[in-house]
Amino acid sequence: MTNSFAHKLGQGGFGAVYRGKLPDGREIAVKMLKDTQGDGEEFMNEVASISRTSHVNVVTLLGFCLQGSKRALVYEYMTNGSLERYTFGNSSAQDPNALCWERLFDIVLGIARGLEYLHRGCNTRIIHFDIKPQNILLDGDFCPKISDFGLAKLCKQKDSKISIGGARGTVGYIAPEVFSRQYGAVSSKSDVYGYGMVVLEMVGARKQVSVGTESSTKYFPQWIYDNLDEFCGTNVEIIMPQY
């Protein structure tokens, strides 16, 4: 399917993703996980989680392979890659990777709909635990799809909170209660926190975690507030919600 892994789409800590094609002509992305020891809990967790889903804003799992230490996931191919490509860097209109505010707004809404489906629309609630730009994929129409369910947890709809064995997620997107575990249990609100940080990055066109720079020591939401006019123009009206 991948023509002997000829076209690599990306590389991460989990392994590599390759572009391929099914016999019927459909393009796919094959996620080859690194050889791992143990019972493959993370791999089967991703298969179990995403196989329960069917939503326009959640990536579709087409198949998987589990043979000894070899593990692979076969997904639908996302033409425009991950949201990370369009979130950071030069935010000017001349940037070939820049997206207009209307399209960014549609992406924000799409991610929210996907999360709402995972948290409320499935028979078994799914908490993702790793919402970040790299895990938001964009199809040919820039429709966002949530991907990478390796850290996800399943819980019954009637359970508002679940217990976890340790902090999980990516630094900068981990909700405080997940990172510290001081409350003993977490909820779907942890995904909402990660989603909020993604939205802030989209507004600021800037990574909120930048190791080695002076700005990385600043609280990112405050940085966005202080620099909002730079990205949205000088005539920005901020309307505070009424509670």
pLDDT computed for residue 234 by the predictor = 47
Residues 34 and 103 in one domain: no
Residue 240 lies in a domain: no
Q: Is 130 a catalytic residue?
A: yes
Residue 205 lies in a domain: yes
**What one-letter code names the amino acid at 121?**
G
Compare 107 and 16 and report the one with higher pLDDT.
Answer: 107
Q: What is the mean pLDDT of the chain?
A: 79
Residues 89 and 175 in one domain: yes
The contacts of residue 172 (CB under 8 Å, 6+ apart) are 132, 197, 208, 209, 220
Residues 199 and 146 in one domain: yes
Q: Where residue 58 falls among pLDDT bands split at 50, 70, 90?
A: very high
Residue 237 lies in a domain: no
Place of tokens 């709909």: 113
Residues 66 and 101 in one domain: no
Q: Which residue, 40, 57, 76, sits at the end of a domain?
A: 76
Residues 51 and 159 in one domain: no
Residue 176 lies in a domain: yes
- List C-alpha distances in Å: 208 to 196, 201, 214: 12, 6, 12
Residue 134 lies in a domain: yes
pLDDT at 24 over 80: yes
pLDDT at 123 over 90: no
Q: Which residue, 76, 94, 119, sits at the end of a domain?
A: 76
Contact between residue 111 and residue 87 where contact means Cβ atoms under 8 Å apart: no
Residue 63 lies in a domain: yes
pLDDT computed for residue 36 by the predictor = 60
Residues 88 and 46 in one domain: no
Kindly report the number of other CB atoms within 10 A of residue 162's CB atom. Answer: 16
Residues 96 and 196 in one domain: yes
CATH number of residue 149's parent domain: 1.10.510.10
Residue 1 lies in a domain: no
pLDDT tens-digit series, residues 94-109: 455 578 889 999 999 9
pLDDT at 49 over 60: yes
Residues 63 and 92 in one domain: no
Distance CA 4, CA 68 (A): 20
Q: Which residue, 76, 102, 118, sits at the end of a domain?
A: 76
Residues 192 and 121 in one domain: yes
**Domains: count for the chain:** 2
pLDDT at 59 over 90: yes
**What one-letter code names the amino acid at 235?**
N
pLDDT computed for residue 233 by the predictor = 53
Q: Where residue 88 falls among pLDDT bands split at 50, 70, 90?
A: low
Kindly report the number of other CB atoms within 10 A of residue 11's CB atom. Answer: 9
Among 1-10, 174-183, 215-224, name the one with the lowest average pLDDT.
Answer: 215-224
Q: What is the mean pLDDT of residues 138-162?
A: 84
Q: What residue numbers bound the domain in which 21 lies?
A: 8-76
Nearest to 107 by CA among 60, 77, 80, 145: 145
pLDDT tens-digit series, residues 158-213: 666 776 666 677 878 888 777 765 555 778 888 999 999 999 888 876 555 543 44
The alpha helices in 70-137, defined as continuous H runs, are 84-87, 101-116
Among 42-46, 66-70, 123-127, name the one with the lowest average pLDDT.
Answer: 42-46
CATH number of residue 52's parent domain: 3.30.200.20
Residues 65 and 174 in one domain: no
242 DSSP 8-state letter: P
Residue 222 lies in a domain: yes
Among residues 24, 35, 39, 130, the one annotated as catalytic is: 130
Compare 230 and 52 and report the one with higher pLDDT.
Answer: 52
Distance CA 116, CA 96 (A): 31
Residues 131 and 30 in one domain: no
Instruction: Please state, for a pLDDT cut of 90, what percent of the chain lies above it.
Output: 33
Residues 109 and 215 in one domain: yes
